[in-house]
Chains A and B, each alone.
Chain A
Amino acid sequence: MPGPTDLTVLRRRATALRRHVVSIAAAQHCHLGGSLSCADLMAALFFDFLQLADTPERRRDRFLLSKGHAVHVFHACLAELGKIDAAELPESGRSGSRLGGHPTRRAPGVEFATGSLGHALSVGVGIAMAEQLDGSPSRTVVMLGDGELQEGTVWEAALCAPRFGLEHLLAIVDFNKFQSAGAVANVLPLDPLAEKWRAFRWNVREIDGHDMAAIVAALHALPAQQGPTVLIAHTVKGKGVPGIEGTARAHYTSLNEDEARRAYAALEPGA
């Protein structure tokens, strides 16, 4: 279990991820808000929880970004891991870039290409089944969006997973309360969300998705005794960027020069 110092390191990573995401939004329109909302979760996953490479003793853990449009924070992780150059980030989507608007396997470190919503939980179930068949403790983590939970396929997979045990499968819902057309509660409400997952026989934990100590504690409580776990992470869309945070505009936007300057000021690297 990481100590307070490690938590500070992870918080700095999250800030670094957000600064990378801002560098993209300063250059072009992008799915900004959904990248910023899960930055703390991504920092904890990629810099504390996941074993990203195969070793002779143990196969790697796998991360699937089911909410593929949050690709920018994923690419930011790859930059922090040194798999790509941070200078590539603002060039995302431009001619010749290997970074697109959704995760593709052109980018080194992307486990599975996603984009169309509602796919990756089933894929994660399959990966977790394969690991379970082989008696492997490797973990499979699937990051879902809240709007994405309107896809029926998510619930097919949710119904399926506990049937097979799959203690090493973790779903995370980045519950940032907004989708493309506005508030999730106005478009198609999900409440009561935790009860839905419980009814599907998942282990459910609800946390503040920006509280690094809470995130890390929840991750380190895994695996559960029985069955898969879902972490419902309450988050703020556009978290960390003044003027964007908690707004519908955060979903898909760019930052003008002034907004980007204020964003960088709010996201001080040492903080």
Chain B
Amino acid sequence: MSGYFSALAAVQTLAELAAEDRRLVLVAQDFGPLRGFTERFPDRHIDVGISEENLVGVAAGLAHAGKLPFVLGMAPFVSMRGFEQIRDDCAYNRNNVKFLVPFAGLEAGPWGATHHAIEDIALLRSIPGLTLLSPADPNESLKAVRAAAVTDGPVYIRLGFLAPIDGYDAAFRVGEIVTLRDGADAAILATGSCVRTALAAHDALAARGVAVRVLNVHTLKPLDRGAVERAARDTGRLVTVEEHFVDGGLGGAVAEVLAELGAGRLRRVGVRDRFCTEVAPYPELLRIHGIDAAGVEAAVMELVA
């Protein structure tokens, strides 16, 4: 389901939280009435129009004065235009602002490179005190929203194109990587929509006799270093998967851990150092950039061979 619909589903969770917590306000940009929330809490749905910097600044002010603002905006614009406000007004000033941002990754597809959010992990990972969440399926998105509401400080929830993962209903603990499959030959660390991709690669590899561990990195910051180090020690071969530039993204974050650990080989699946200028539907764009089960499988086989 599109990150947009994940966000709309999350708004229902926000309405439930808003009924319990009078501080909660929804600060949106040009989203119109949000069914389930706006009619119940008309004063607490604030739409500031198309102005990301103002959006984030206003949210910081609301938080400063004791509110619990959830910002609803588009990932590419909130993370890039709003970056300095996130850094200065939310994180540096220690304001409790939550961000719910659909269109993370390449979901916007043929809308073009302006609408792709494949830098936000790199940007937001650099901000002290910020929590960066990237849920793997719609159900986990709702858990992330609830976790964000009770996490101190700014929290950015990155919503990509998410489909349900069958049988997945693990407890959501901020900062803890979830092991979805175990295996000793290699470990795949995936985030957001790419967790399903990793599971598909796992099955294909299993059929070839290669047993891989699949890890859901739903919290990109703070990164669960312990789980990354264990994967490196146990398997020696890691593959990261993300809808993001590999430099500075999950791939970069894992590379940093491995370099300091001095152990483990790494392959990174994601967008290389170029804009995704091909005009193509979203799934096709992923395939072009090798962010699919075949791409992950190939990366694992490079290490295992």
Contacts and interface: CB of A to CB of B under 8 A. Distances in A.
Name the residue in B54, B66, B84, B89 with the highest tally of chain A Cβ atoms < 10 Å from its Cβ. B54
A123 B64 contact: yes
B61 A130 contact: yes
- Give the dominant DSSP class at A's interface: helix
Given A116-B84, A130-B65, A133-B25, A122 B58 contact: yes
Contacts of B62: 126-127, 129-130
B96 to A, nearest CB: 12
Nearest to A121: B57
A121 B53 CA distance: 11
Contacts of A127: 61-62, 64-65
A126 B48 CA distance: 10
B236 to A, nearest CB: 45
Contacts of B65: 62, 126-127, 130-131
Given A129-B61, A133-B25, A113 B54 contact: no
A258 B217 CA distance: 64
Contacts of B92: 113
B85 interface: yes
A133 B62 CA distance: 10
Contact of A157 (B57, B59, B69): B57
B57 A153 contact: yes
B179 interface: no
Contact of B93 (A62, A105, A122, A157): A105
A218 interface: no
B57 A126 contact: yes
Nearest to B61: A126
B67 to A, nearest CB: 5
A170 B24 CA distance: 25
A223 interface: no
A123 B61 contact: yes
A271 interface: no
A115 interface: yes
B60 interface: yes
Contacts of A120: 57
B54 A157 contact: yes
Given A115-B88, A133-B43, A126 B93 contact: no
Contacts of A153: 53-54, 57
28 contacts: A105-B93, A111-B64, A112-B64, A114-B88, A115-B88, A119-B84, A121-B57, A122-B60, A122-B89, A123-B57, A123-B89, A124-B61, A126-B58, A126-B60, A126-B61, A126-B63, A126-B64, A129-B62, A130-B65, A133-B43, A152-B53, A153-B53, A156-B53, A157-B54, A157-B58, A159-B51, A159-B54, A160-B58
